Amino acid sequence: MHVDLDQVDFVTETALTIRESRRRTTVPKEIVDRLGLTPEDRLRWVLLTDGTVLVTKVRRQGERD
């Protein structure tokens, strides 16, 4: 996968917490703020064959860029 660094806006890392059947990760505040995420929003997780994971905000019907 090729990433154009001119399109990268923010990079960070977070911890993953796995307890029994519950799996949690924290979305960094910077990402929440920039995407305007709310508790009603959904995230889409895409796993590529090379192990890369893409996470995107799922747009609500009628929502614009």
- pLDDT tens digits along 4-60: 888 899 998 888 788 888 888 889 999 999 999 999 999 999 999 989 899 999 987
Read off the tokens for 24: 């949690």
pLDDT at 65: 58
Phi, psi of 5 (to 5 degrees): -60, -20
> Environment class of residue 31 by beta-carbon count within 10 Å: exposed (0-12), middle (13-18) or buried (19+)?
middle
Question: Could you tell me the fold of the domain covering 5-57?
Answer: Pemi-like Protein 1; Chain: D (2.10.260)
Read off the tokens for 20: 């029994």
